[in-house]
Structure 1
């Protein structure tokens, strides 16, 4: 298990703040393509399937390939330098997307974003686990994991506004620039936890042996599977929702970005924080609630998601000049509970693995949710949308997105099976678990 010998001070909270802001820009850069789908399609004349390739498979494959090696490096040399360099790299690549002169060049630069982001997320989670004691970890991770939600707020809202005012290229350039500065701030001003003598003296396992010991850990594969399947639905919805509001509810690019960013994004922020608070509170009573909250939130999110996509077009009220669809109220509920699988899953890693394997264990989880979520989610919806167009016509995207909600039932089943296994492992001494995984 990950341990923490550092006293929590303002330096600790400052480090969390910088990591959280970096993660926000990580997701701003990642999600920016979703609000720019329509102008990119118009300029390069590509299909929904190719857009799914751009925002999904191409990104996911390279993120997955580089994720574990970067996390292995972070476990060896420290989390901070890896995260700082990764942040600078993906931010520069995002800016370059704005100067792409062809779809192939844009695809190449998006691959560069993926390689850079592969070195950011898992080492950041491991660094936060090093900084905070176990009884504060879910709340600390909840602050960090607001990144996707706040990334949606600023990325979709600001991205849509910049694209409408100045063109989609400037959206990439302007939004990518701050990340370069953030990487430098992290490197120069944040105090990272120092490695203990016992950590430094541990023998370095081979890559294959480390992966075997991680994947043979009880409950771990179920957690990875649950998160990966949830991510398929999550990334598909996050990528295609603006286009759904444009095509099925008649909103403009800017209006869709404002609703998805401010409305859905802020509800996700509140939901993530509520999940972190609720998880820490309930785990004090029963360790099984570390995953029980993930199961609870996912179950509640399913009907909200189905109602959002299947509710007919119609205006609930006017928000200034924006005609807010009635269906959007259901999305607010989905946004609140749909993030509840994230905090418990990441928090569970810090209880399952020792510090010198934590970034690698977290990286495998990120690899699963990225390869399947980012990789398959947007692509599957793009393929289904193109297929349904032949029979359904303009409402094809609505039913393509509704189809992905059913996948969350698989996530619920995995969490239900993982809870007793996780509870048993947390109650078992770490040395016993290490022996089991080493000799299995």
Structure 2
């Protein structure tokens, strides 16, 4: 149930990327403004509400927070379809961001409550299929609806199922008990969110994992936002054709990659916990040449599927989609191993907030701004080179993960020791 809700979380988040061109045409806005609409504004409000919702989920339980959040973001997605101006559309997208802030972190915490560490990466891989399947449905279905009935109808149809899913979760799913919160010693001050945040940021492995995931997210959200427009501008596809290729082709490969990554991670971690962070290193490094090939390959058609032209470059994107997602499951899994249950939703919220603030916030607008800067000289091809430059961020992400491996191993060993032994070891 959580996995299905997460799929719709990403459908509602990603559908705007396939609607960029008709929205630009109706409101007469620039690529930079599109980056603001799909990136910065969303990210700021998602971040503001992420930690409070994480703390609330650690206190009252995961299920009610997730259910109400799902209903809220879905209703706001539907309202995007009735916006009559850019400012109104921006306001409703902010509402989507506030709702989605209560979804991911409590859900990851709930999955971690339900599964032991040795099975957690596989369980998280099922849950974290959300972005990939969300791309399949959000881009594929959203592109078709927009082509046939207009972009407004796409928002309304895509948003409606989430309202029902939130109600279904609330009424039918039995959630695990709220984690027991350690009671402070008599006279000790209560732990506030600032204290919790300071202690988490004092864990070097956590900081490096958050940094690596954030950098990967910058690239991931830039790709998710601009890939359809890249195929439209540089390869001459229609909105519907771009949505089908990116949504179905890329989404299915990402889904398979997520599941394979979760299974392989659990198997290798049983031998050495360091593989929890080495697997995403492999994924990031392999993804760079594949991504560069996708964006820089000439605009030639490899073959047709019926009337749908498949560019040669898109074949590289299929392989890229399989490996570029390998950072997600292991990083979420690593965080679930670093902290106790009563802090897990908050730790996950910090991770998701950082990814969203910089990933959603900077990824789309960096690429949109670069595209506007390159446009006078490169014209329609400006977006191609803006996206190619962004791919290199995966190498920086891999470097952060490599730096975290030793610290992560030491933290797990210290957590497994009795307190006295851990203190002596430190």
The bucket for the TM-score relative to the shorter chain is over 0.9
Structure 1 equivalent of residue 382 of structure 2: 396
- Asked if 1:232 corresponds to 2:218, the answer is yes
Q: Which moved more, 1:428-437 or 1:333-342?
A: 428-437
Alpha-carbon distance change, 98 to 285 in structure 1, aligned in 2, over 3 angstroms: same
Post-superposition offset of 1:217: 1.2
Judging changes above 3 Å, is the alpha-carbon distance between structure 1 residues 64 and 431 closer, same or farther for their aligned structure 2 residues? farther
CA contact (8 A) 1:218 1:425 kept: no
Which runs of 5 or more residues in structure 2 are unaligned?
Answer: none
What CA RMSD, in Å, does the superposition of the two structures yield over aligned residues?
A: 1.6
- Asked whether 1:310 is paired with 2:312, we answer no
Residues 413 and 277 (structure 1), Cα distance of their counterparts in 2 relative to 1, 3 Å cut: same
Partners of 2:65 and 2:178 in 1: how far apart? 15
Specify every segment of 5 or more residues in structure 1 that has no aligned partner in the other structure, as ranges. 1-17
8 A Cα contact 1:232 1:372, kept in partner: yes
How far apart are the structure 2 equivalents of 1:434 and 1:212?
Answer: 23
Structure-1 separation of matches of 2:29 and 2:278: 43
- Could you say which residue in structure 2 is the equivalent of 1:365? 351
User: Residues 11-63 of structure 1: CA distance to partner in whole angstroms, max 9, x if unpaired?
Assistant: xxxxxxx0000000000000010000000000000000000000000000000
Q: Which residue of 1 aligns with 2:76?
A: 93
2:31 and 2:372 in contact (8 A); partners too? yes
Offset at residue 243 of structure 1 (A): 0.2
In the alignment, the residues of structure 2 paired with residue 348 and residue 266 of structure 1 have an alpha-carbon distance, to the nearest angstrom, of: 25
Alpha carbons of 1:96 and 1:206: their partners in 2 closer, same or farther (altered >3 Å)? same
Correspondences of 1:176-255 after superposition (within 5 Å): 176-195=159-178, 198-199=180-181, 201=183, 204-255=190-241
Change over 3 Å in CA distance of 1:176–1:139 after alignment to 2: same
Distance in 2 (alpha carbons) for counterparts of 1:33 and 1:320: 27
Structure 1 position 81, deviation (Å): 0.3
Cα distance 1:31–1:435, how it changes in 2: closer, same or farther (>3 A)? farther
Shift of 1:218: 2.8
Matched, 1:26 2:9: yes
State the partner residue of 1:270. 256
SS in structure 2 of the partner of residue 245 of structure 1: helix
TM-score after normalising by structure 2 = 0.96
Find the residue that maps to 2:309 and give its secondary structure: strand
Q: Could you tell me the TM-score, scaled by structure 1's length?
A: 0.93
Matched residue count: 420
**For 1:353 and 1:55, how far apart are their aligned partners in 2?**
32
Distance 1:111 1:435, change over 3 A: farther
Report deviation, 1:199: 3.1
For the residue of structure 2 that corresponds to 1:318, the secondary structure is strand
Report SS of the residue matched to 1:46: coil
Equivalences for residues 52-71 of structure 1 within 5 A:
52-71=35-54
Q: Which residue in the other structure is 2:280 paired with?
A: 294
Return the alpha-carbon distance in structure 2 between the equivalents of residues 41 and 170 of structure 1.
16
* Cα distance in structure 2, aligned partners of 1:72 and 1:339: 28
CA contact (8 A) 1:153 1:265 kept: yes
Counterpart residue number, 1:126: 109
SS in 1 for 2:310: strand
Supply the distance in 2 between the matched residues of 1:310 and 1:72 (Cα, whole angstroms): 44
Please state if 1:145 is matched with 2:144: no
Deviation, 1:195, is 2.9
CA distance in 1, matches of 2:329, 2:19: 29
* Structure 2 CA distance for aligned equivalents of residues 433 and 299 of structure 1: 38
Structure 1 runs (4+) greater than 4 angstroms displaced: 200-204, 430-437
Which residue, 322, 331, 355 being the options, matches 1:345?
331
**Deviation of the 1:394 alpha carbon:** 1.4
Distance in structure 2 (CA, Å) of the matches to 1:155 and 1:321: 22
Whether the 8 Å contact between 1:425 and 1:433 is mirrored in structure 2 is: no
The alpha-carbon distance between structure 1 residues 55 and 432, as it changes in their structure 2 partners (threshold 3 A), is farther
